[in-house]
Amino acid sequence: MAAELGGLAWPARVQIWDAALAAVRGYFRDQGLREVSTPVRVPAVAVEPFIDPIAAPPGLLATSPELAMKRLLVRGSGPIFQIAHVFRRAEIGERHSEEFHLVEWYRLGADLDPLLADVEALVDRVFAATGSNGHVPKTWQRARFLEVVTATCGAALRGDEDPGQLLAALPPALADEVARAADMSADAEPRARTLLAWTAFFTAWSDMFFEPWLKGHEGTHLVDFPAPLAALAITDPVRPWLARRAECHVGGLEIANGYVELRDADEQRRRFAAVNELRRVHGAPALPIDEDFLAELPGLPPCAGIALGLDRLITLAACRTRLADVSLALGGG
Residue type, 208: M
**Count of Cβ atoms closer than 10 Å to residue 78 Cβ:** 13
Residue 1, pLDDT score? 41
Q: What is the pLDDT of residues 202-250, one digit of tens each?
A: 999 999 999 999 987 889 999 999 999 999 999 999 999 999 999 999 9
Task: Give the Cα separation of 170 and 328 in Å (integer).
Answer: 44
Looking at residue 214, its pLDDT comes to 93
DSSP 108: E
pLDDT the model gives residue 142: 96
Tell me what the pLDDT averaged over the chain comes to. Answer: 93
Residue 43 backbone dihedrals phi, psi, to 5 degrees = -75, -25
pLDDT tens digits for 175-185? 998 998 888 88
Residues 262 and 230: beta-carbon distance below 8 Å: yes
pLDDT tens for 295-308 read 999 999 999 999 99
First to last CA, the chain: 18
Determine the average pLDDT of the residues in 162-187. 91
Does 98 have pLDDT greater than 60?
A: yes
User: Above 60 in pLDDT, residue 155?
Assistant: yes
* Predicted confidence (pLDDT) per residue in 26-78, tens digit: 999 999 999 999 999 999 999 998 899 999 999 999 999 999 999 999 999 99
User: What's the confidence (pLDDT) of residue 181?
Assistant: 86
Alpha carbons 200 and 175: distance in angstroms, whole number = 10
